Amino acid sequence: MRISKLTAWMMLAAVCLTLPALLRPAEATAAVDAGSRGAPPAAEKLDNSTCLICHGAKADKLTAPGAEGKPRTLQAIQENQFGKGVHGEMTCVGCHQDITSSKAPHKKGPAPKANCVTCHEALWETAKQQNLTRERARLGIVVQNIEAYKNSFHARPSTDDKTRPNAACDDCHDSHYFNVPPRGTSRRTDWHLTVSKVCGEQCHTDQLESYAESVHGVETMEKKNPKAAVCTDCHTTHSIANTSKDAFKLLIIENCGTCHLENFLTYRDTYHGQVTKLGYTYTAKCYDCHDSHKILRVDDPQSKVHPDNRLETCRQCHDGKKLPLATAGFATFGPHANDHDFKRYPQMWIASRFMHWLLVFVFAYFWVHSLLWWYREYERRKEGELRPRVRVDELPLAEAKQVRRFGPLWRLAHLLFALSVMTLILTGMAVFYSYTDWAPVIMKALGGPQVAGIIHRTSAAIMLGIFFLHLVAVAINIWRNRKTFRWFGPDSLVPNWKDLEDAIGMFKWFFNKGPRPTFDRWTYWEKFDYWAVFWGMAAIGGTGMLLAFPNVTAAIFPGWVFNVAALVHGEEAFLAAVFLFTVHFFNNHFRPDKLPPPDIVMFTGTQSLEEFKREHTLQYRRLVESGQLEKYLVQAPSQPMTLGSKVLGITLIICGLTLLVLVTVGFFGGHTPHSFTQ
């Protein structure tokens, strides 16, 4: 090829101009070039392309000093994945604002290091100032998560490196590729299934190993079942709490219940579940029985709740030290028994149906009885119908006398019995209705379930003691009067045919179809009150004893006895409470002919002649005809005694009605235990 003379001269000139620069040092060359242009040196370009020259996936591996001087490998950035993340449109120095030089080691400016928290909080503040909170609502959710994280266990300083938290945002969310797929998409499902792997591989390797073998882990990691639990379903996403704290122990129960609702509700029916609902954690929780991470199916021989392993599991708590040692029946107790599955729990089904119909019969009969009685008495008073009166002037000193109905021991026994029963209702129903707002308040005031349990059992001992002393006294009385005592006579509390006739006669009178029956020493409703206590002592007292000594019970009976005992104990207590504070209070204090309350005969032991004749006409006539009435006449109670009795009566009525309100709120206030769930 031939070169023209013009081209040759041009090439020679270029070499001459370039040669001095090639012979100078590089710094001098840059200065001369800049000086020749009359401009300052060019600033370094810190765009993403520049950063990826060293930090990209194709670059050599980079390291930096880590904890205790040990080198740590820096992450290599996949450009394609970065572009798909939520931060894909940002520049590297948008987060790493402290980097001011592209050359390693980087020069650092005064700006803080990259920090997810401060960045997102600043963005949210800007959004609020610009009134863009609706358009950038996602930022608000992020800030809420940040607040939850700040109070979490993850945010606390690591024990290995105090300069770092236990887990930072980018430990769980890769800050370069982070991108939560939209809900309802298959990508969201795939992302959800990776949660346990992220938690386990990053920090919790031992837990991941156990979880992988569990029923949850098999479902998510092998079967790809998105409905099975991953770490965040139990531990939450950002409010990660210390697992040794009560708050977490209580939360984990609720989280289990989001998936296992039926088992959760039946667990709440047990004493274990009622105590935890009250906010205390010393009773068994889900993971105490089922394990925390290695949860296996019941039929798995390695499962803690397999029939062969249950007794040993129960003995984790019932170890013979703090609690009596668990005996054989514990293994067959149904912690998730219900009363609507006859095939699996026939005893519970039968017991619940019996209690259900007992409650329906008692309340239906006596509430109708009370309402009709109130209406009939109200109509009588409205019509001005006069009560029958006795001519007290015909009796010597009658104006200062009253009829003795109850002696001092009977009155004291009644008072102690009433106080013990009310205490039992308060302490028992606070557990029975643990899901109400009032129950935790009562329990805290009592000093917690353990103290309340002592109060409950002490009150039960008083109630049962009074009952048995009463039986002894009655037996002695019958023995002393064995020659004259008649089992079905007027002085006996044993029901007879006249009681049935009186009950029918009262309903006729309610509908104005006949006269009001005349009663003897005991009315049929008083006899019902009396004998109901015998049933109550057998039902409530008997089941209470079975529950109070579980190791003895389980050594004799199978575990389902606990389930039936708990059901009967709770529902019979409900029956007693509602009956006492509605029907019993009405019969003795709130009938129109008794107003204003209270009736104090049970506190003073005496009754006016007028009321005695009206209420117990046949006994009055018999005493008058036999000339024995004066034997029963006593001095009327003093004014202080009368006033004190009224104050005591009103106080007990207020306490009883308050308990009735609490029980009513519990019954209608949410999940109701046992047979009322249907």
Q: Which helix (H) or strand (E) holds 543?
A: helix 542-548
Q: Which helix (H) or strand (E) holds 401?
A: strand 401-404
Strand partners of residue 56: 77
Determine, yes or no, domain membership for 164: no
When pLDDT is cut at 50, 70 and 90, the band that residue 219 belongs to is very high
**pLDDT greater than 90 at residue 496:** yes
Compute how many other C-beta atoms are within 10 angstroms of the C-beta atom of residue 28.
11
For the segment 522-572, what is each residue's pLDDT rounded down to a tens digit? Answer: 999 999 999 999 999 999 999 999 999 999 999 999 999 999 999 999 999
CA 382 to chain centre: 50
Strand partners of residue 401: 635
**pLDDT greater than 90 at residue 69:** no
Structural contact between residues 555 and 329, judged by C-beta atoms closer than 8 angstroms: yes
Alpha carbon distance 572, 546 (integer Å): 15
For the segment 609-619, what is each residue's pLDDT rounded down to a tens digit? Answer: 989 999 999 99
Structural contact between residues 380 and 579, judged by C-beta atoms closer than 8 angstroms: no
Determine, yes or no, domain membership for 498: no
Residues 597, 651: one domain?
A: yes
Residues 576, 442: one domain?
A: yes
Determine, yes or no, domain membership for 273: yes
Amino acid 73 reads T
For the segment 396-419, what is each residue's pLDDT rounded down to a tens digit? Answer: 445 568 999 999 999 999 999 999
Contacts of 46 by beta carbon, 8 Å cutoff, 6+ apart: 91, 92, 93, 99, 100, 102
Determine, yes or no, domain membership for 363: yes
Question: Which CATH number goes with the domain that contains 533?
Answer: 1.20.950.20
**pLDDT greater than 50 at residue 30:** no
Name the pTM for this structure. 0.82
For the segment 112-158, what is each residue's pLDDT rounded down to a tens digit? Answer: 888 888 889 988 999 999 999 999 898 899 999 999 999 999 999 98
pLDDT for the residue 187: 85
**pLDDT greater than 60 at residue 393:** no
Structural contact between residues 334 and 564, judged by C-beta atoms closer than 8 angstroms: no
For the chain, how big is the Rg over CA atoms in Å?
42
DSSP label at 245? S
Residues 305, 351: one domain?
A: no
Determine, yes or no, domain membership for 13: no
Residues 274, 359: one domain?
A: no
Determine, yes or no, domain membership for 340: no
Q: How is 561-572 classified by DSSP, letter by letter?
A: HHHHHHHHHHHH
pLDDT for the residue 391: 53
Domain residues for 269? 198-311
Task: Give yes or no for a cis peptide into 110 (omega within 30° of 0).
Answer: no
Range in 385-394, 448-457, 656-665 with the lowest mean pLDDT: 385-394
Place of tokens 């070499």: 15
Q: Which helix (H) or strand (E) holds 633?
A: strand 633-635
**pLDDT greater than 50 at residue 608:** yes
Q: How many residues does the chain have?
A: 678
pLDDT for the residue 72: 81
For the segment 321-334, what is each residue's pLDDT rounded down to a tens digit? Answer: 989 999 999 999 99
Residues 292, 428: one domain?
A: no
For the segment 655-665, what is each residue's pLDDT rounded down to a tens digit? Answer: 999 999 999 99
Q: Which long-range contacts (CB under 8 A, 24 or more apart) does 670-674 make?
A: 670/435, 670/436, 671/265, 671/268, 671/435, 673/268, 673/269, 673/432, 673/570, 674/269, 674/339, 674/352, 674/355, 674/567, 674/570, 674/571
When pLDDT is cut at 50, 70 and 90, the band that residue 671 belongs to is low
Residues 437, 567: one domain?
A: yes
Compute how many other C-beta atoms are within 10 angstroms of the C-beta atom of residue 318.
20
**pLDDT greater than 90 at residue 79:** no
Alpha carbon distance 529, 583 (integer Å): 10
Domain total for the chain?
A: 3
Residues 297, 352: one domain?
A: no
pLDDT for the residue 566: 96
Phi and psi angles of residue 257, each rounded to the nearest 5 degrees, phi first: -65, -20
Structural contact between residues 660 and 582, judged by C-beta atoms closer than 8 angstroms: yes
Cα angle: 366, vertex 369, 375; to 5 degrees:
140
When pLDDT is cut at 50, 70 and 90, the band that residue 382 belongs to is confident
Tokens of 325: 């040692």
pLDDT for the residue 7: 44
Contacts of 479 by beta carbon, 8 Å cutoff, 6+ apart: none
CA 244 to chain centre: 19
3-state SS of 309-334 is CHHHHHCCCCCCCCCCCCCHHHHHCC
**pLDDT greater than 90 at residue 50:** no
When pLDDT is cut at 50, 70 and 90, the band that residue 108 belongs to is confident
Strand partners of residue 99: 108
Tokens of 310: 């249950």
Determine, yes or no, domain membership for 599: yes
For the chain, the maximum distance between any two Cα atoms, rounded to a whole number of angstroms, is 164
Residues 663, 548: one domain?
A: yes
Residues 220, 106: one domain?
A: no
Range in 391-395, 501-505, 593-597 with the lowest mean pLDDT: 391-395
Strand partners of residue 404: 606
Range in 175-179, 262-266, 308-312, 327-331 with the lowest mean pLDDT: 175-179
* CB-count burial class (<10 Å; 0-12, 13-18, 19+) for 431: buried
Alpha carbon distance 623, 78 (integer Å): 107
End-to-end CA, the chain: 105
**pLDDT greater than 50 at residue 305:** yes
Structural contact between residues 46 and 96, judged by C-beta atoms closer than 8 angstroms: no
When pLDDT is cut at 50, 70 and 90, the band that residue 673 belongs to is low
Q: Which helix (H) or strand (E) holds 378?
A: helix 346-382
Residues 443, 522: one domain?
A: yes
Q: Over range 188-214, report the average pLDDT.
A: 91
Phi and psi angles of residue 73, each rounded to the nearest 5 degrees, phi first: -80, 130
The residue with greater pLDDT, 58 or 13, is: 58
Phi and psi angles of residue 41, each rounded to the nearest 5 degrees, phi first: -60, 150
Alpha carbon distance 597, 607 (integer Å): 15
H-type alpha helices, 102-136 = 116-129
Pairing of strands 71-73, 63-65: antiparallel
Determine, yes or no, domain membership for 462: yes
Residues 474, 368: one domain?
A: yes
CA 414 to chain centre: 36
CA 73 to chain centre: 48
Average predicted confidence (pLDDT) for the chain: 87
Strand partners of residue 73: 63
Contacts of 160 by beta carbon, 8 Å cutoff, 6+ apart: 67
**pLDDT greater than 80 at residue 480:** yes
Contacts of 282 by beta carbon, 8 Å cutoff, 6+ apart: 275, 450
Residues 568, 620: one domain?
A: yes
Best CA proximity match to 648, nearest among 602, 580, 594: 602
Task: Give yes or no for a cis peptide into 598 (omega within 30° of 0).
Answer: yes
pLDDT for the residue 208: 93
pLDDT for the residue 262: 94
Q: By percentage, how much of the chain surpasses pLDDT 90?
A: 66
Tokens of 91: 């520049």
Structural contact between residues 275 and 428, judged by C-beta atoms closer than 8 angstroms: no
**pLDDT greater than 50 at residue 37:** no
Alpha carbon distance 7, 303 (integer Å): 92
